[in-house]
Amino acid sequence: MGYYLSLWQSALCLIVAEETPAFDYLGMPFIPFLELLNIPFAAEMSKTIMVGFADMFLPAIIGSSIESELTRFVIACLSVSQLIYMSEVGGLILGTKIPVSFFQLLVIFLLRTIISLPIIAVCAHMIFLMIFIAKTAYQAGFCY
């Protein structure tokens, strides 16, 4: 029974994410932050940030149409970070006797996302810079 409920939740979240501007509006506050981090296609990525709270795999599905490899990498890493929180830590917090409301859980989710996003962005820029340098060196004939 739980499997079908999860399947319906995922389908409903996908419909809401693709057919309504709800997650576009929820993600708009992240656009200046993503532009500050120099993430390409910041407007498209901002939608995937809040979708991660609704469903674990939707950010990767929605972000697959973004052309920038760096942006897709950041979406994938952020999605994994959100997945770990929502599936493990969030469930543990709700399962304990700690008085945490759903709104407080959402605030913790947003804080973790805001903290992990710059770390992921710096790592992504470093990785893609190294890839660019390696490709340039190979094309110039410095590597065999």
| Residue-level pLDDT, tens digit, the chain, 144 residues | 666 666 787 788 888 888 889 888 999 999 999 999 999 999 999 989 988 887 778 888 888 889 999 999 999 999 998 888 877 777 777 778 888 888 888 888 899 999 999 999 999 999 999 999 888 888 888 766
pLDDT of residue 7: 75
Rounded Cα–Cα distance for residues 21 and 87 (Å): 26
Range of the domain at 58: 2-140
**How far does Cα 120 stand from its chain's mean position?**
10
**How many domains is the chain built from?**
1
The label of the residue with tokens 């973790």 reads 112
State pTM to two decimals. Answer: 0.85
Q: Quick one: pLDDT at residue 143?
A: 67
Name which of 86, 89, 43 is nearest 62 in CA terms. 43
